[in-house]
């Protein structure tokens, strides 16, 4: 009878404490990552680097230049998730966003020292690099860096063109 009693006691303890050990039922568990609707279009990119920089100068907007290659998992994940995020799409309205295919624009990548993909260069309206982000960026990470860029741009007085 003691073996059955021990077994029942063991089974009771396991049933009671198993959810505790596995995290089931905990209210303060780590929240799940927000779902991103991959059917929504990503931010609007320009695909001509020089034309994008000209537009940025004329409109006095900072730039986000995204360097990627087609078969790179990090690049593809950013296109599928990061650039479809609502906050990133909202912030992108303040920027000129340019997408450079590193496999087609190898000379530009070499000139700018891009050797790893994905890479993002955040620049002011004159094309001067403010931040370089190497590797996959989550929407939260990229949003922080765009906010920093926009704050830097807001603190610098705009030059007035004389006509």
| Residues 17-30, mean pLDDT to the nearest whole number | 53
For residue 53, give both structure tokens.
Answer: 């920089």
Check: CB of residue 102 under 8 Å from CB of residue 67. yes
Q: What angle do CA 98, 144, 157 make, to 5 degrees?
A: 75
Q: Is the pLDDT of residue 7 over 60?
A: yes
d(CA 62, CA 145): 12
**What local confidence, expressed as pLDDT, does residue 163 receive?**
43
pLDDT 10s digits, 139-152: 999 999 999 999 98
Check: CB of residue 59 under 8 Å from CB of residue 71. no
Check: CB of residue 98 under 8 Å from CB of residue 120. no
**What local confidence, expressed as pLDDT, does residue 56 receive?**
96
CATH architecture, domain 49-154: 3-Layer(aba) Sandwich (3.40)
Closest CA to 124 of 60, 51, 67, 66: 60
């Amino acid at each position: 009878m003691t073996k059955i009693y021990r077994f029942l006691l063991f089974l009771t303890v396991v049933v009671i404490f198993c959810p505790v050990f596995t995290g089931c039922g905990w209210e303060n568990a780590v929240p799940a990552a927000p779902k991103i609707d991959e059917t929504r279009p990503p931010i609007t990119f320009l695909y001509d680097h020089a034309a994008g920089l000209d537009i940025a100068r004329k409109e006095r907007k900072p730039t986000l230049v995204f360097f990627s290659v087609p078969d790179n998992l990090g690049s593809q994940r950013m296109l599928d998730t990061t650039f479809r995020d609502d906050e990133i799409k909202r912030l992108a309205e303040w920027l000129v966003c340019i997408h450079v295919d590193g496999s087609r624009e190898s000379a530009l990548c070499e000139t700018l020292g891009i050797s790893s993909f994905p890479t993002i260069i955040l620049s002011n309206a004159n094309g001067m690099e403010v931040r370089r982000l190497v590797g996959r960026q989550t929407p939260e990470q990229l949003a922080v860096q765009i906010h920093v860029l926009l704050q830097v741009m807001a603190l610098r007085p705009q030059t007035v063109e004389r006509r």
